[in-house]
Amino acid sequence: MEEKWWLRRSDCRAKGGAPGFKVAILGAAGGIGQPLAMLMKMNPLVSVLHLYDVVNSPGVTADLSHMDTGAVVRGFLGQPQLESALTGMDLVIIPAGVPRKPGMTRDDLFKINAGIVRTLCEGVAKCCPNAVVNLISNPVNSTVPIAAEVFKKAGTYNPKKLLGVTTLDVARANTFVAEVLGIDPRDVNVPVVGGHAGVTILPLLSQVNPPSSFTPEEIAYLTDRIQNGGTEVVEAKAGTGSATLSMAYAAAKFADACLRGLRGDAGIVECSYVASQVTELPFFATKVRIGRQGIDEFLPLGPLNEFERAGLEKAKKELAESIQKGVSFINK
Ligand SMILES: NC(=O)C1=CN([C@@H]2O[C@H](COP(=O)(O)OP(=O)(O)OC[C@H]3O[C@@H](n4cnc5c(N)ncnc54)[C@H](O)[C@@H]3O)[C@@H](O)[C@H]2O)C=CC1
Ligand SMILES: O=C([O-])CC(=O)C(=O)O
């Protein structure tokens, strides 16, 4: 392609190396991957953006590379290029894997996505063992334990740097609560704890900021809508996939929080599904404080009302099974 020009790109004076973080997206040509790649290309904290996929990453890379933002974009295609995609990365975002169709649960994706996540995490362990990992691929309740086991086997596991992305649950909760209250969603913050599937998604409506009270009907409506927000989109898309645009937005927001934490900004608190001692389960989503080394602090659940305590028990039962399934996949 370069032959038709008098100047080759390698002769250009740009040498790269601008200050900023190096970020890789694995699954970058997918429904989430493409808009997420665009949002990360627009993030001023990113100096280098690596886009890896098993299909179409050269096209997505060429396209995004014409945006006049600071990040230098490079594309990587297929397993032989995985190591180059990962080497030197500070943050690795993983939305690789198949999405749901109507009638499926997230757990139905386990068969295909578990193996994809294992392979990609083996690459992370080998090429950028100190990177922060943002895991999006479903079922998150099992893929995060899979990633942890892969890293343990490789001797690189750092629980402070492995974060399951549950930001979309928070974004939905903020949106739906704001609608019920008749206020701006940007002014609402709903902690959502537990996990990322059905009853494991536990919105803590008693802890909504600004402090708000809800009728029992509002609580029933909001809890159901937040827990089934993913299914609402899967059904509306009628077989063509699941949430991609809202997920890319949520993933970009979460990645930005991680980068600001790594930079040393104070007060970065996000909900995320992580290795945790907040409950008796080895993994649980709660608020975490993110700092220079990844997670600095696991924040407690806070006071729950009776409805939330009952929800927590249900969530824990399902979560325990999903965690065990992920752990056994690697240690079978
Ligand atoms: N954590 C969350 O809140 C959410 C998670 N998801 C999950 O994210 C995943 C991706 O969803 P979509 O982007 O809609 O799917 P998609 O099918 O549009 O894109 C997935 C991409 O992954 C790529 N891929 C497949 N195997 C790969 C491998 N071994 N290495 C690298 N790339 C590979 C595919 O080529 C494709 O480009 C799904 O598992 C979905 O369930 C979706 C929405 C929300
Ligand atoms: O529902 C799905 O399969 C995708 C997802 O995780 C979400 O939208 O929350």
| Domain end call among 135, 164, 193 | 164
130 and 174 both lie in a single domain? no
In a domain, 1, yes or no: no
Question: Are 110 and 158 within one domain?
Answer: yes
- In angstroms, how far is CA 203 from the centroid of its own chain? 18
Tell me: the pLDDT tens digits for 8-42? 888 888 766 668 999 999 999 999 999 999 999 99
Question: Residue 316 pLDDT more than 60?
Answer: yes
Q: What is the pLDDT of residue 321?
A: 98
Which residue's alpha carbon is at the smallest distance from atom 1 of ligand 2? 230
Assess whether 147 and 176 both reside in one domain: no
Hey, whose CA ends up nearest to atom 2 of ligand 1?
136
Q: Which residues lie closer than 8 Å to 150 by C-beta, 6 or more apart?
A: 118, 121, 122, 125, 330
Rounded Cα gap, residues 292 and 266, in angstroms: 10
Q: How many CA atoms lie within 13 A of 223 on its CB side?
A: 20
| Distance between Cα 206 and ligand 1 center (Å) | 33
Q: What was the pLDDT predicted at 3?
A: 61
Pocket of ligand 2 contains residue 106 by CB under 6 Å: yes
54 with 184, same domain: the answer is: no
**Which pLDDT score, from 0 to 100, does residue 17 have?**
61
Give the per-residue pLDDT at 12: 81
Burial 78-93 (b: 16+ CB within 10 A, else e): eeebbeebbeebbbbb
- Domain end among 146, 164, 182: 164
ω into 159 cis (within 30 of 0): no
Q: What is the mean pLDDT of residues 74-81?
A: 98
- Greatest distance between any 2 Cα atoms in the chain: 72
Q: What is the pTM of this model?
A: 0.97
Could you report the predicted ipTM of this complex, rounded to two decimals? Answer: 0.99
Range(s) of the domain holding residue 221: 166-331
Q: What pLDDT is stored for residue 16 in this prediction?
A: 63
Q: Give yes or no for residue 242 CB within 6 A of ligand 2.
A: yes
| Position 260 confidence tier, pLDDT thresholds 50, 70, 90 | very high
Please indicate, yes or no, whether residues 146 and 172 belong to a single structural domain of this protein: no
Looking at residues 283-306, what average pLDDT do you find?
97
Catalytic residue among 50, 118, 196, 225: 196
- Do 94 and 242 have their domain in common? no
pLDDT tens, residue by residue, 160-194: 999 999 999 999 999 999 999 999 999 999 999 99
Do 230 and 137 belong together in one domain?
A: no
Q: Is the pLDDT higher at 6 or at 21?
A: 21
CA 208 to chain centre: 22
Contact between 33 and 49 under an 8 Å Cβ cutoff? The reply is: no
The minimum-distance atom of ligand 1 relative to the CA of 242 is: 14
Of 157, 143, 93, nearest in space to 114 by CA: 143
Antiparallel, parallel or unpaired: β 46-53 and 72-77:
parallel
Render pLDDT for 91-144 as a digit per residue (tens, 0 to 9).
999 999 999 999 999 999 999 999 999 999 999 999 999 999 999 999 999 999
Using the predicted structure, report yes or no on whether residue 2 has a pLDDT greater than 60: no
